[in-house]
């Protein structure tokens, strides 16, 4: 057995050599290799740590983690916007007026899009036509345009 295969078996089967496929060879190699003994001791300590009950974090660690979370939340854009809006009186007024200004701009742009549309003027004009004029509008729309 070589050190590389010993460490692979150690990773696969753990520190209890009785669970290995060939425990006798493992014991013999362990007796002649200080590196293998060190690796076995480290694995045994690791397994022991995994099997122990979880420890409760010290109070200082809890406070440090909480302060990092608070700092990270304070850097979020949504938190900064809310903090900005709570500032002066004019800020909420401006933020409330923004949707109104956006609505006016969109409405004005939408209204401009109908100025060049011939169908809109035809529709408005056709509202006052009688049945004979409707037939003319359907066959020869250029005769009834404004």
Give pLDDT tens digits along the chain (146 positions). Answer: 788 988 898 988 988 989 888 889 888 988 988 999 999 999 999 888 888 776 677 888 888 989 998 888 777 887 777 776 676 677 777 778 889 999 888 887 776 665 555 555 555 555 555 666 666 666 766 665 54
Task: Tell me the C-alpha to C-alpha distance, in Å, between residue 71 and each of 57, 66, 79.
Answer: 20, 9, 11
Q: What does the pLDDT read at residue 57? A: 73
Residue ranges of domains in the chain: 3-51
- At 58, is the secondary structure helix, strand, or coil? coil
Secondary structure letter of residue 56 according to DSSP: P
Q: How far is CA 134 from CA 25, 95, 120, in A?
A: 104, 50, 16
Coil, strand or helix at 81: helix
């Amino acid at each position: 057995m070589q050190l590389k295969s010993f460490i692979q078996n150690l990773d696969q089967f753990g520190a209890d050599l009785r669970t290995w496929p060939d425990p006798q060879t493992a014991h013999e190699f362990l007796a002649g290799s200080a590196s293998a003994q060190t690796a076995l001791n480290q694995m045994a300590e690791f397994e022991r740590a995994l099997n122990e009950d979880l420890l409760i974090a010290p109070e200082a660690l809890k406070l440090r983690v909480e302060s990092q979370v608070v700092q990270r939340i304070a850097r979020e854009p949504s938190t900064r916007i809310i903090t900005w809006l709570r500032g002066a009186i004019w800020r909420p007024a401006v933020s409330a007026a923004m949707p109104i200004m956006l609505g006016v701009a969109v409405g004005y742009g939408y209204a401009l899009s109908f100025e060049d549309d011939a169908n809109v003027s035809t529709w408005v004009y056709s509202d006052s036509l009688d049945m004979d004029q409707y037939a003319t509008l359907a066959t020869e729309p250029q005769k009834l345009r404004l």
